[in-house]
A and B are shown apart, each in its own frame.
Chain A
Amino acid sequence: MESVDDSKFEMEFISTSGVYKTSFSLIIIIQLFVGGLVLFFVNLWFINSLYYLLTGTQFYSFGLKAEWYYWLLLPLNIYGNIFLFVFTVIVFSAGIFRLLNKLSHPREGVFQRGCKDWKFMHRRFWTAFFPIWLARALPLPWLDIIAYRFFGTRVGRSVVLYEGYIDPEFVEIGDFTMTSLNICIFSHLIYQDKVIIKRVKVGKACVVGPHTIISPGTVMEDFAVLGVNSYTKINQKLEGNLIHVGTPVSITLPIQSIEESQQKAVKVKAESNIPKDGENSPNLKEGD
């Protein structure tokens, strides 16, 4: 199916990005198996020497006869196993992801649901699903960033990704950016019987506020701030050095430095004749 010219394409509403369960989602079982296989060989080496176990001349049942240092290193072993599993799953599924990309090059545009690009979008999503879930379930702040980088998302350095949904492809996040809790960054959007795929660019040192939705085609310039509870329209451009608020974004506010806002607060207080903190204190003493 040919992609429609999306420059004229306008959506009246923002829906959501979603993925159906297909038979390809069984790939999670293969990922589990590959992760487990690597774990198996490394643990063989750890519990006993690989040579002895493979030749069968010496067999330790459950490590009960193992030396004292085995029990000492057991917590490290468990912790290392978890990381080994996660990293093998990430690397393995990143390989499958690249293979799928070669089979059908990911394109931007507006596609009919059920066409080739739609099917390959599903396959790419399901390959990336399990490793990213694992990376996000572990209590390490940088693991999900590494996982996203493996799946072709450009994530800069010193980036903070709090809990939220970020699509694994067609997303660029610049250096020093922070995305808050419960955000949705969509590069795919379902619209009636079509799906729109467009690149999302989040610039350097941006702040994406909590509970926001960034829809496909959004370009956030450097130092832009997206306010709480707002969402952007398709192909919207957010200017840098400004705060953007609204559903959809329509209001812009200037970013103030701390000194500026403090000066303003002093001015407002003087105008409305509110007594200062220092003047309030003698009244309190009288009350006591």
Chain B
Amino acid sequence: MFQPASLKGESPVPIDEKIRRKYLILYILIIILSFIPCSLFEYWYVTYFWSETIFWIFFLLLPFNGLVAIYIIQFSAILASVLILKVVNLIHLPKEGVFKRSLQDRDYFFWNIRNIIKKWPIYVMASNPFPWFKTRFTLRFFGVKIGKKTICDNSWISSEFVSIGKNVIIGMNSSVLSFGIEQDNFILKKVIVENDVIIGAKCVLLPGTLIKRNVSLSAHSYTNHNAVLEENSLYMGHPAKLKKKD
């Protein structure tokens, strides 16, 4: 629960360098769009409270002002990026599969574009210290289903093709990856974690993993591509193997 500032739970995205340079404007556009409601709010706050009679209210509410400003930025960043994402998805629908890792491949190209759009809202979500509208809230807008009573704030979860059930505990520093790079190939496959699963610290779930109900995955282990972990059992090792079944 005590993540240092540098270990925040940002989604892992190795965006292609050419895309990062070429579509920087898109990234900056989302940042500017997300700051407009915040600056309107700050303008109202200063003009309303900064007067000779009630100036002390201005200072008293300053911490809450910071709290509200962070959430206004986060909400408007999510709104802006979701709107742009909808337009991009109309041009090319995201789909699973194995693709070539070059920008000529449309699926790989649009995966990069989608991630550069999501980068700013996820950065804001991960950097703020307040625990309320974190991973579960933000990733739901990008199509990741995360159930209630799930601990997932200290782990790196991919921002698409992931579904996590209710009452799941995902350990510190674990990563849930729905994408993978193997030599020239680029793999996109859905990761499904069902209800009541405990995933230990520093685990890695590779694309295509299906974890069924009530599975415990021991700390410091990883699952193979397209691995299926059966119900009510304990898995551990590199890669995860069946250890015990109830």
Beta-carbon contact of A12 and B7 below 8 Å? no
Q: Which residues of B contact A (CB under 8 A)?
A: 1-7, 50, 52, 55-56, 59-60, 62-64, 66-67, 129-132, 149, 151, 154, 169-174, 198-202, 216, 218-220, 234, 236, 238, 243-244
Known: A15-B169, A133-B2. A213 touches B131 (CB 8 A): no
Whether B172 pairs with A163 at a CB distance below 8 angstroms is no
Question: Contact partner of B173 among A134, A165, A247, CB < 8 A?
Answer: A165
Instruction: Give the interface SS of chain A, mostly helix, strand, loop or mixed.
Output: mixed
- A18, A25, A62: the one within 8 Å of B171 (CB): A18
Can you list, as one digit per residue, whether each of A58-86 has a CB less than 8 Å from chain B (1) or not (0)? 01011000000000000000000000000
Give CA–CA (A165, B9) in the complex, Å.
Answer: 13
Q: Are B219 and A15 in contact (CB under 8 A)?
A: yes
Q: Is the Cβ of A133 less than 8 Å from the Cβ of B129?
A: yes
Does B4 contact A40, Cβ atoms closer than 8 Å?
Answer: no
Known: A18-B169, A20-B151. A163 touches B219 (CB 8 A): no
CB <8 Å contact, B63 and A184:
no
Query: Most chain-A Cβ atoms within 10 A of its Cβ — which of B56, B151, B243?
Result: B151
Knowing A12-B234, A12-B244, A184-B202, say if A165 contacts B2 (CB, 8 Å).
Answer: yes
CA A37 to CA B56, docked complex, whole Å = 10
Which A positions have Cβ atoms within 8 angstroms of B? 12-21, 25, 28-29, 32-33, 35-37, 39-40, 43-44, 56, 59, 61-62, 125, 128-130, 132-134, 136-137, 144, 163-168, 182, 184, 186, 190, 192, 211, 213, 229, 231, 247
Of A16, A18, A125, A186, the most chain B CB neighbours within 10 A belong to: A16
Closest chain-A Cβ to B198's Cβ sits at a distance in Å of: 5
Q: Report whether A125 and B7 are in contact in the complex, using a CB–CB cutoff of 8 Å.
A: no
Max count, chain B CB within 10 A of own CB: residue among A13, A33, A182, A186: A13
Contacts of B200 in A (CB 8 A): 13-16
Q: Which residues of the other chain, A, contact B130 by a CB distance below 8 angstroms?
A: 28
Given known contacts A12-B234, A129-B2, A247-B220, A163 and B59 CB-to-CB distance under 8 angstroms: no
Chain B nearest CB from A64 CB (Å) reads 12
Given contact pairs A167-B2, A168-B2, A184 touches B172 in the complex (Cβ within 8 A): yes
User: A260–B66 Cα gap in the complex (Å)?
Assistant: 58
Distance between Cα atoms of A167 and B172 in the complex (Å): 12
Closest Cβ of chain B: how far from A78's Cβ, in Å?
14
| Residue in B closest to A130 when the chains form the complex, CB atoms | B129
Docked CA distance A15–B236 (Å): 11
Q: A32-B67, A36-B62, A213-B201 are known contacts. Are A18 and B4 too (CB-CB below 8 A)? A: no
The reply to whether A231 and B129 form a contact with Cβ atoms under 8 Å apart is no
Output the least CB separation between B68 and chain A (Å): 11
Chain A residues lying within 8 Å of B201, measured Cβ to Cβ, are 14-17, 184, 186, 213
Bound form: Cα–Cα A125–B2 in Å: 9
Given A15-B171, A21-B132, A40-B59, do A231 and B5 touch, yes or no (CB 8 Å)?
no
Contact sample, A vs B, 29 pairs, CB 8 Å cutoff: A12-B234, A13-B216, A13-B219, A13-B236, A15-B169, A15-B198, A15-B200, A15-B201, A15-B216, A16-B174, A16-B199, A16-B200, A17-B1, A18-B172, A21-B132, A32-B63, A39-B59, A39-B62, A56-B52, A59-B52, A125-B1, A133-B3, A133-B129, A136-B4, A164-B4, A165-B173, A168-B2, A184-B173, A211-B202
